[in-house]
């Protein structure tokens, strides 16, 4: 396997991991916050809130699955 293929595999595992919904929610939150900041909205607190909610939801789903 080439170096670039190994790097891409590592990046995928690091960012996506076991739950792609967490990565998708964080990316969506980053996009929304970025768009709102461009119109001068004070919305910085939305990103940590989304991360906390998504993490909690992911942990809850993981605990229910066991």
The domain locations on the chain are 3-65
Sequence-ordered list of residues with C-beta below 8 angstroms from that of 47, at least 6 positions apart, any chain: 29, 30, 33
Residue position matching structure tokens 């809130």: 49
pLDDT tens, residue by residue, 32-62? 999 999 999 999 899 999 999 999 999 998 8
64 CB-side CA count, 13 A: 6
What is the pTM (predicted TM-score) of this model? 0.75
pLDDT tens, residue by residue, 4-16? 999 988 888 888 8
> What token pair was written down for 3?
């170096």
Tell me the C-alpha distance between 26 and 34, whole Å: 12
């Amino acid at each position: 396997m080439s170096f670039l293929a190994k790097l891409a595999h590592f990046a995928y595992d690091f960012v996506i991991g076991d739950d792609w919904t967490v990565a998708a929610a964080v990316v969506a939150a980053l996009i929304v916050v970025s768009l709102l900041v461009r119109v001068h909205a004070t919305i910085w607190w939305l990103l940590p809130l989304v991360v906390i909610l998504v993490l909690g939801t992911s942990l809850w789903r993981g605990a229910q699955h066991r």
